[in-house]
Chains A and B, each alone.
Chain A
Amino acid sequence: MSAPTPPDSLPAHLELKAVGLLVLVASLIIGFVLYVMVARGVFESTQQLVLVSDDSEGVIVGMDLTFSGFPIGRVRRIELATDGKARMVVDVPSKDAHWLRSSSIFTMERGLVGDTRIRAYSGVLTDPPLPANAERTLLRGDTAAEIPRLVASARELLENLDNMTSSQSSLNTSLSHLKTVTERLSGRYGALTTVLGSEANAQKIITTLDRTNALLAKTDQRIYGANGVMDSTQAAIGQLDALLSDTRASLKKVDAVLEQAQAVGANARIASTDLGMLRAEIESSLRRIGQLTHEINRKWPFARETEIKLP
């Protein structure tokens, strides 16, 4: 038994269909490969940007770097630097590189839902362009990392709220005190009862005020009334004024006396000068009398022997 030989000639339409299918599939495969290569930026001219962060969790190769919501770069490599920080190498196409400036800020945001996002912010677009191979710090805004702290704060807040709302809490005590105060305010003596603590004390204060008023009335009568202290004082002031006038006149007289005494003193000084001259004349006369006496004694026969003779 031998298998029949298949026909050597192939119907034209079968061959055309087979070739057409082959061409179609080959075209689709080649086109899709080229499309994916274009989509992955294989043919794009890029410049490199290095973002440094202390944590690369959530960052994956191929992730976009966005500017104003538009992807302008793609993470090409993530590596651990020698200082323990994560270095993310980002390829930025040259046609989009002008959005990045030397003053640009890069942030990594991680939300509760969805993947991590790397964003670029360029506040001043007139700054110099970001140079190739620039290295920038990636600022992190991690929502998930904030949750434990938020939960701890919320728990503390709830505990405080629980303490505040318990029956023995300070707030409740304050509220009861406030209630007491408002009750007193709306009571008979109002704020006075609130301040003094009881109606009896308030009554005492009112009584004191009444007595004070009566005392003030009497005082007014004694001071400002007829024949009161003020009238007496006014009369005394009149008398004092007259006394002062007399005193002023007396002082004028004393002043005149003093002037006369001053004149007497001047005369006495002149008299003292004349006495000095008189004394000098008298002393001169006495000296001459003495000299005369001495001359008489010397010439006199009974003059006493003054010479002493030694044996």
Chain B
Amino acid sequence: MTSLVASWWFMLHFGAVVLVMALSPWCLNRANLASTARHINTSTWQVLPWFTALSALLSLVLIRIVVVTALSYGLSQYALQMVVRVLVLELIPLSAALFIALRAGLGANGIATPTLGSAPTPFKPSPMQAFGDVIDQHLLRTELMPRVLADAFSVLTLAVVSSGVTLVLTYLTLYGLSPWGLPDFTRTVGQVFDLAISLGFVLKIFLFSLAVAVVPTAASLEVMSQPATIKPGAVRLFLVLLLIEAASLAIKYI
């Protein structure tokens, strides 16, 4: 139980340290920015077209299903709201987080891979232990922080771009190329994105990004020397994502 609490504490501490470093100008030197750009290129640039295309295809299918079902029940006026609420607010951020978690967060596990020529020493985290004692500061600044930032940015980018594409596809599915549906579409989107929903949407994407970036990296630091059949932190990551999504739904709809 103590080790579990220590492990969660280490994860939170690691995330906080990375956030502080990301917001500190002295950490954003040329070398770190270059490393961050390299990770962004790997985690975002390379997957953005594929993920956007895949999410557009799935969104199109779901939009058609929702619209046709709503039309058949005479509830076409609610189709747009339902598409926006289900796809843009819920499914796309979650799918972007899971995609990045599977591809970059869990797949990279590069801490153990001596890409930089050395690997940190395995450790057992303890709440009473200073964070600087167990993590090499240089590695934290040059490798971990850029990776976390890149993964977080990747989730944000994929979610935002896919949400925009989904909104465009929704308009085209409902109204075609006619511009006369724009006022109605705009009004409905405005009704969905009230202040509480918008803040919840932003907060959810932010937490998803942090979870996908921090949880697997922190878990990798803990268990990098232990053989495992599952990627380190996978269960915890999915648990965190599930908690964030459940909390978001509960706040919005309960």
* A residues with CB within 8 A of B: 1-10, 14-15, 17-18, 21-22, 24-25, 28-29, 32, 35-36, 38-41, 61-62, 64, 71, 113-114
Contacts and interface: CB of A to CB of B under 8 A. Distances in A.
B157 A18 contact: no
Contact of B37 (A3, A14, A24, A40): A14
17 contacts: A8-B30, A10-B34, A15-B37, A18-B45, A21-B40, A22-B153, A24-B157, A25-B156, A28-B161, A32-B163, A35-B189, A39-B191, A40-B190, A64-B187, A71-B187, A114-B77, A114-B78
A17 B186 contact: no
Contact of A9 (B34, B142, B186): B34
A5 B35 CA distance: 11
Nearest to B33: A10
Contacts of B135: none
A102 to B, nearest CB: 27
A41 B48 CA distance: 33
Interface of B is mostly: helix
A38 B75 contact: no
Nearest to B40: A18
B40 A17 contact: yes
Contacts of A1: 118
A281 B136 CA distance: 194
Among A24, A28, A39, the most chain B Cβ lie within 10 Å of the Cβ of A39
A25 B40 contact: no
Contacts of B31: 5-8
Interface residues of B, number: 39
Given A17-B45, A28-B164, A36-B189, A6 B35 contact: yes
Nearest to B157: A25
B186 A39 contact: yes
Contact of B34 (A7, A17, A22, A24): A7
B139 A3 contact: yes
B142 A6 contact: yes
A41 B190 CA distance: 8
Interface in B85-139: 116-118, 136, 138-139
Given A4-B116, A62-B191, 5 more contacts: A3-B142, A14-B38, A21-B45, A29-B160, A38-B186
Contacts of B77: 114
Interface of B: 30-31, 33-38, 40-41, 44-45, 48, 75, 77-78, 116-118, 136, 138-139, 142-143, 153, 156-157, 160-161, 163-164, 186-187, 189-191, 193-194, 198
Contacts, number: 94
**6 shortest interchain CB distances as A-B pairs:** A39-B190, A10-B34, A18-B37, A40-B190, A39-B186, A36-B193
B160 A113 contact: no
Contacts of A71: 187
Nearest to A18: B37
Contacts of B116: 3-4, 6
A210 B160 CA distance: 110
A46 to B, nearest CB: 14
Nearest to A13: B41
A177 to B, nearest CB: 51
Contacts of A32: 160, 163-164
Given A3-B138, A71-B187, A24 B161 contact: yes
A36 B194 CA distance: 8
Nearest to B146: A6
Contact of A113 (B33, B75, B189): B75
Contacts of A40: 190, 193-194
A111 to B, nearest CB: 11
Most A C-beta atoms less than 10 A away, residue of B38, B138, B153: B38
